[in-house]
Chains A and B, each alone.
Chain A
Amino acid sequence: MPRASAWTLGWLALAVALVLLPQALSFSQQEILVFLTINVLLVSSYRLLTLTGEWSLGHAVIMGVGAYASALVTKWTGLFVPLSMLVGALTAAAVAWVLSFPLFRMKGFYFLIGSFAAGEIIRLLWKRFQDPFGGAKGLKRIEPMPNLDLGFHHFDFFLPTNYYYFALVAVGICLWLMWRVERSPMGLAFHAVHWQDKLAQASGINVRGYRMLAFVLASGFAGLSGALLAHYIGTINPGSFGVEQMVFILTWAIVGGTSTFYGPILGVVVLTILNEIVLRGMGFEQARPLIYGFILILSVLFLPKGLESLVQGAMARWRVAAPRPAPVEREKQA
């Protein structure tokens, strides 16, 4: 079978599996599936940011900017919810753009802590200003997704299954966009800025400009994930986007690994399954921070390249164990 059609078949099979997946799950598991889908977008956007070598600790707050912006826009103007989500994403990108001026004067640890501080400022503003952010209690009764009748199916977005389909489409498009970005000359420049920043600069690449671009793009996608979350759960507060959420993003990215596109996705999927099936199923839900802490430490110590390195290793071994018959075919053709 030619390689291209094998890939197409593979993608089709994945799509069918993702569409059928909710049928196999309980109601509460379907809800978790919605969160998982949103988190896939969140952690993938975080990887886009790390492509240029800078690790931010403000990503959870940027996600919150998208959530707050989208929720407030629908409250004030009654804008159609999917459009307001885009507004949320754009707002997050705009805030990131403004922040990038002070932040990208720094590198390394200074950037890390600077981004953390910038995020804290935003979070404190939400907390301090009752109007319009609702203070520490946050925003409640956020406009839900309006129902949608497509003829063959009536989508009531209160149901997790339907919202899952909506999020799946949105996240799928975003992942495709991010994939395209990484494969474009822009993506190559991101990698160059990370691994060879002196050389990149000497080759006429605007290093700081590309760092800012990656930060702004990543923040836009993070903002969209926040908006997707806000209109599903209907209530957000400054605590939803605090250190704990940031630690989760960091854990998913580090456990999965960030050198491949699928690494962080692998991380969030595996940890969510572990969390829901193992911890909640066995009644260890209370010990979640403890177990996340151990997972974070153990993966940094013993699996520094993440779960993706296991996949890469397995694939390399598989290729050695089962050499392709390709050379033989080529001989025949010759």
Chain B
Amino acid sequence: MLELLAQTALNATYAASYIALVAVGLVLIFGVMGVINFAHGELFMLGAYAVVALYADLQLNFMMAVMVGLAFVGCVGLLMERALFRPLRDNPLGGLVASIGFLLILQALVVMGFGVRMEHIPPVTQEVIAFSDRVRFPLSRLYVVVAAVVLLTALWLFLKRTRFGWALRASAQDPEAAALQGISINQTARIAMFIGAGLAGVAGALTAPLVSVNPLMGHSVIVTAFIVIIVGGIGSLEGAVVAAVAYAFVHTIVTTFYDGVIADIVGLSLMLLVLIVKPHGLFGTAERA
């Protein structure tokens, strides 16, 4: 029993890592631009396909493929900012609808390029850290955890210690006052979008060898991310991380003892429960827009 719990905790830690990367990106985009990016799951999917193209097909180095995935998806984020969210800045619902349109386009393009079938990606490493006979943690999962911790710490330092970070947080708090202080709203939006999309992309790239990669994989990712950001409070980065960990543990435990679909239902129900008790999420303050 103890071993089972330990194993579940390890699995949950891995799940929490990539969920946190996705959710933090989503929160960052919402905080700075005031729009819910419905295509965020598809950005994750694009990151995974970057690894399919570069690592599985072209046989490049895995780390290299992940880096390119991050940069590429970040640039897709810049495209979204320029083409969709900037013209629709005064229309948050419009931004959300446009991102749904963009989601369809990304899915269709990937179907055209790669087909609808599941992609096979050779494992990066077969090595397993064995704590005991029944408690084992594959090294490839540890990579994801380490990458998430490093990236999120870097983001935190960036936001709290650099001028760009200050500007970003200022425009998240009050865009007009920030603009009056000489902060370029367009530039902070670009930075937030690049980072937010890049985090989704890197999460997709890192987990690509560990999950089933197909053009529709973004759906479950965005559902999970929504649960996490709602529970954490839509505007709160810390809330997103805490909620990601909590959700990952609940989901993994229920999956272990029942099955995955029940775990999804439990997760969604918990989210509704949180909303009933605290309509702005556990860490949320007030609603924006």
Q: Is the CB of B71 closer than 8 A to any CB of chain A?
A: no
- Interface SS of chain B: helix
A108/B108 in contact, CB under 8 A: no
Stretch of A39-47, A69-77, A286-294 contacting B (4+ beta carbons < 8 Å): A286-294
Question: Beyond the given A102-B275, A250-B100, could you list 8 further A-B residue pairs with CB under 8 A, ordered by the A residue number?
Answer: A55-B93, A113-B226, A120-B268, A121-B272, A289-B104, A294-B101, A296-B101, A296-B104
Chain B residues close to A by CB (< 8 Å)? 36, 83-84, 87-88, 91-94, 96-98, 100-105, 107-109, 219, 223, 226-227, 230, 234, 261-262, 264-265, 268-269, 271-273, 275-276, 279-280, 287, 289
Closest 10 CB pairs of A and B: A296-B101, A293-B104, A290-B108, A293-B105, A297-B101, A293-B101, A128-B261, A289-B104, A289-B108, A300-B94
Q: Is the CB of A112 closer than 8 A to any CB of chain B?
A: yes
Set of chain B residues within 8 Å of A110, measured between Cβ atoms: 230, 234, 275, 279-280, 287
With A106-B279, A117-B223, A290-B109 already in contact, the answer to whether A295 and B101 are too (CB < 8 A) is yes
Interface size class, chain A: 35 or more
Nearest-neighbor residue (CB-CB) of B99 within chain A? A297
Q: Is the CB of A317 closer than 8 A to any CB of chain B?
A: no
Q: Is the CB of A254 closer than 8 A to any CB of chain B?
A: yes
Nearest-neighbor residue (CB-CB) of A119 within chain B? B268
Partner of A117, one of B96, B271, B276: B271
* Distance of A289 Cα from B287 Cα, bound (Å): 32
B104/A108 in contact, CB under 8 A: no
* Distance of A246 Cα from B26 Cα, bound (Å): 22
A124/B104 in contact, CB under 8 A: no
B108/A114 in contact, CB under 8 A: no
* Distance of A120 Cα from B226 Cα, bound (Å): 12
- Looking at the assembled complex, report how far the CB atom of B279 sits from the nearest CB atom of chain A, in whole angstroms: 5
A-B contact pairs, 13 of them (CB 8 A): A109-B36, A109-B289, A113-B36, A117-B271, A120-B268, A121-B265, A287-B108, A289-B105, A290-B105, A293-B102, A296-B97, A296-B98, A297-B84
* Distance of A128 Cα from B266 Cα, bound (Å): 13
With A55-B93, A247-B104 already in contact, the answer to whether A105 and B230 are too (CB < 8 A) is no
Set of chain A residues within 8 Å of B265, measured between Cβ atoms: 121, 124-125, 128
Chain A contacts with B in 245-278, Cβ cutoff 8 A: 247, 250, 254
Chain A contacts with B in 120-162, Cβ cutoff 8 A: 120-121, 124-125, 127-128
Set of chain A residues within 8 Å of B104, measured between Cβ atoms: 247, 289-290, 292-293, 296
* Distance of A333 Cα from B44 Cα, bound (Å): 73
